[in-house]
Structure 1
Amino acid sequence: MTTKPPIQSGEKERIEEITIMRALAFFAIVLQHSIGEYIYRADILPADAVMLGMLYHFTRYGTLTFVFLSTVILFYNYDASLDYGRFIKRRAQSVLVPFALWTLIYGVFSLQGLLLTKEGWVLLSQQFLTPTYGYQLWFIPMIFQLYLLYPWLARFVQAVRKRLFTWFGVISVRHVTGILLGLGAAYAGLMYWSYYKAAGWAGSVGGIGQVLAGHRTMIVIFYFFYIALGIVCALHLQRWRQWVQQAASWNLFIFIACYIFIGYDLLSAGITPINLNISTYLKPTVFVLIVVQMLLIYAIALQIQKRGGLMQRFLRMAGTYSFGGYLVHALVLALVSRFTRQLSLEGFHLIATVLTFVVVAAASLFITRWLQHSPFASLFIGAKRRKTSSAEGAGGRRGEASSSYS
């Protein structure tokens, strides 16, 4: 992996596969939340519970893929010399404004009449710090931390690359692999602490330490390995593409092994009900599963992009609208669930989950498309009102609103 002189920004190609990966990650998240809606219902049969639990492990890559993609876009489009004030202002407009508006919408939807009381307003104000009604919204303040830290992170990466050039005269595959293996081992250690030790540590220290440990999913440092992968992809794009395709067969083998092990770990804890928190992504074994899933998804996205056709066009469309779909899908799911919770679904929870996934994903993308063409696009989804072209959301330097989605 020999580093070539940087290409001028105007000459950079768009990273077409990013839009496809966005779509696949969005669908994984919608399926994950649809599973969560049905797997804990009292009338679910063991067979349906087991099937949903095993299906759940195919969704684990969703959220962390967006961390990876956000980093790719940042390091591909910008460097440490960017206008920091303008950069943060645009990022705030594209992600924080929609976050605030959707937090308010989810709060009103959930609290309803309670908003007429002081307690209701206190609960609503808390949502802007730790979202629970719009449970997926936690990701926005977390990823905004990456935007805030980007210039310093970019300077650190530049310093590391300069040091490697000084020592070795070239940055080879061996150097990058060694760094990633070291970071991976450190991250696995952090995940071990997070899953097995953090709760006890938080209880012993109390105070701010307990608060931070309790909300560690919202702290960007707990995703540093996915950020490191994104940096490597952005700085060595062509070699990265070659490598993920060459390593696909090995990654598939590792995925199968991890899937069997983690599935056994989940089911051995009991199926009445299944506890999906056992497979949290802040766990060492699930971390390995997610990484190999992400690499396989990247290889799949490259193949879909290469072949073109209906699948590519559909996923490009879904990826373009994925940010808005991400923001709205929990509300659509809540509306669908108001209907399904009145039904007796014994023996049909797997089918109901799949149907709910299809309805929620389709409706969320449709609503986002409508919002993007409305005068309120910038408020709801952080995008300017415009007619969507095939180039939007593809990565590279076009489509600021779409590139802000992580």
Structure 2
Amino acid sequence: MDKAGALKKPRINAIEYMRGISMLGVIGIHVGSQYIVNAAANIHLVAVFEIFTRFSVPIFFFISAFGLFYNLDINKSLNYKNFMKKRARTVIVPYVAWSLLYVVFYVWRYHAFSLLNPLQLLSMLFFGTACYQLYFMVILIWFYLLMPLWKYMVKHSSCINLTVLLVLQIAFDYYSSFVMNPYGIANPVLRDLLVYRLNYWVMHYIFIFVLGGYLAVHYDDFKIFMKHYRLSIAAFFFVSLLGLLAYYYYCLFIENYTVLEAINTAHQLSPAGVFYTIGASIFLFSEFYNCKLPRLLEKAFSLLGRHSYFAYLCHPVFIALLAAVMVKLNMVMTAYNSIAFYLGTVVLSVIAAAVCRYFSQKYWPILNELTIGVYAKR
């Protein structure tokens, strides 16, 4: 029972498992960015690294919303002060800590002393540019700041409202991704606000966030839906995946795009990418809900989910270090080397997460507090 005396809702393992898979996908995207530097990169392996994994970032917002609303009484008023106080401890503090850690790392590794400029630091914190994966946390912070709005939207959502929101989401994402061009703006402040819009505009992910909250509030109905329509959910996922892959290959073979241009077009904010995100979110939830996993696989997914937050935040360090080792050894990022590079990054990131958590729990609790927002029970 919680402090109010109400029964605590049962833990949903699917959410933890999906966190782990999302972390694996994000690392895949960033390793793929290393691989496509090779002019002879295999376009199909690029598709695995950069297209198949495109659900990874938006599904984090789905999971975050589900977790928030699953433990929220939608009919009670929100204590905004307490809500933000808790989110500051679990997200804002780790975000600032990791941003400063990356600044120190880049100053040490690349002698980038210009990053120590106070205005530069403030800009990096606002846009989430201290490292390329941190923008996710900036958007998540904005989602938290606007929680009363999402609570209202989720409470008054229906299938019709969600359909309208989906159409608006696709239209907005298309305009932002393929029509808007801020580079010609003379004012540097306004130009940066628009150039870095993907780093902090929550509007790009409103639908998937509200959908996660809606399904959490109606979880009993969602469980029935997943049980009765498991095959249909799987079919929708595979059709949406094929649609995004088809778009990628269309860009390559019909539009004659480079590989980099193709993956920067067939991304999660393209119309095909939006449907793929929805398909992957519901499919993974459905499979983890319906399928009884072998004990070993269950432990593996649980391990990945438990350490996904830290691994997500620290993996660029190991990408940089492994890339430096490859340069030192004159190794080319071939297909086989890129797969080994990916596995090495995942293993090292998860080991680092496990070691830091163990060390923090045993000796220095502030380490967990600063890096993953986990506080020792008092």
Instruction: Please tell me the TM-score bracket, short chain as reference.
Output: 0.7 to 0.9
Aligned to 1:230: 212
> Is the alpha carbon distance of 1:40 and 1:256 closer, same or farther for their aligned partners in structure 2, counting shifts above 3 Å?
same
1:137 equivalent in alignment to 2:126? no
1:34 equivalent in alignment to 2:10? no
1:5-30 superposed Cα distances (whole Å, 9 cap, x missing partner): xxx95252222210011111111111
> Is the alpha carbon distance of 1:115 and 1:307 closer, same or farther for their aligned partners in structure 2, counting shifts above 3 Å?
closer
Aligned to 1:67: 61
Q: Structure 1 residue aligned with 2:195, among 206, 214, 224?
A: 214
> Is the alpha carbon distance of 1:291 and 1:132 closer, same or farther for their aligned partners in structure 2, counting shifts above 3 Å?
same
**Counterpart of 2:340 in structure 1: which amino acid?**
L
1:213 Cα offset (Å): 2.8
1:263 Cα offset (Å): 2.4
SS of the counterpart of 2:98? helix
1:145 Cα offset (Å): 1.2
Q: Structure 2 residue aligned with 1:278, among 265, 269, 281?
A: 265
1:136 Cα offset (Å): 0.4
Higher relative contact order (CA 8 A, sep 6+): 1
* Conservation of the 8 A alpha-carbon contact between 1:30 and 1:361: yes
1:319-354 superposed Cα distances (whole Å, 9 cap, x missing partner): 0111111111111111111112344555x6221222
SS of the counterpart of 1:341? helix
Q: After superposition, where does 1:189-338 map in structure 2 within 5 Å?
A: 189-199=171-181, 203=184, 210-217=191-198, 218-244=200-226, 246=229, 247-268=232-253, 269-270=255-256, 273-275=259-261, 276-304=263-291, 306-338=292-324
1:240 Cα offset (Å): 1.6
* Conservation of the 8 A alpha-carbon contact between 2:128 and 2:137: no
Q: Structure 2 residue aligned with 1:104, among 92, 100, 106?
A: 100
**Counterpart of 1:257 in structure 2: which amino acid?**
L
TM-score normalised over the length of structure 2:
0.85
What is the CA–CA distance in structure 2 between the aligned matches of 1:144 and 1:264, rounded to whole Å?
Answer: 35
1:124 Cα offset (Å): 3.9
Give RMSD over aligned pairs. Answer: 2.7
Q: After superposition, where does 1:7-26 map in structure 2 within 5 Å?
A: 10-26=7-23
1:253 Cα offset (Å): 4.2
* Conservation of the 8 A alpha-carbon contact between 1:110 and 1:133: no
1:272 Cα offset (Å): 5.4
* Conservation of the 8 A alpha-carbon contact between 1:321 and 1:369: yes
1:234-256 superposed Cα distances (whole Å, 9 cap, x missing partner): 11113223334513243144224
1:236-290 superposed Cα distances (whole Å, 9 cap, x missing partner): 1132233345132431442243134222134235575533212232222221222
> Is the alpha carbon distance of 1:62 and 1:9 closer, same or farther for their aligned partners in structure 2, counting shifts above 3 Å?
farther
1:45 equivalent in alignment to 2:26? no
Moved more, 218-227 or 247-256: 247-256
1:381 equivalent in alignment to 2:375? no
1:177-201 superposed Cα distances (whole Å, 9 cap, x missing partner): 322222111111111211222116x
1:118 Cα offset (Å): 8.3
1:102-134 superposed Cα distances (whole Å, 9 cap, x missing partner): 111111211337465687555444321223341
Aligned to 1:165: none
TM-score normalised over the length of structure 1:
0.80
Query: Gaps spanning 5+ residues in structure 2: where?
Result: none
* Conservation of the 8 A alpha-carbon contact between 1:267 and 1:274: no
> Is the alpha carbon distance of 1:114 and 1:244 closer, same or farther for their aligned partners in structure 2, counting shifts above 3 Å?
same
Query: Identity rate of aligned residues, in percent?
Result: 23
> Is the alpha carbon distance of 1:14 and 1:273 closer, same or farther for their aligned partners in structure 2, counting shifts above 3 Å?
closer
* Conservation of the 8 A alpha-carbon contact between 1:91 and 1:147: yes
* Conservation of the 8 A alpha-carbon contact between 1:106 and 1:133: yes
What is the CA–CA distance in structure 1 between the aligned matches of 2:215 and 2:145, rounded to whole Å?
Answer: 21
SS of the counterpart of 2:7? helix
1:227 Cα offset (Å): 1.2
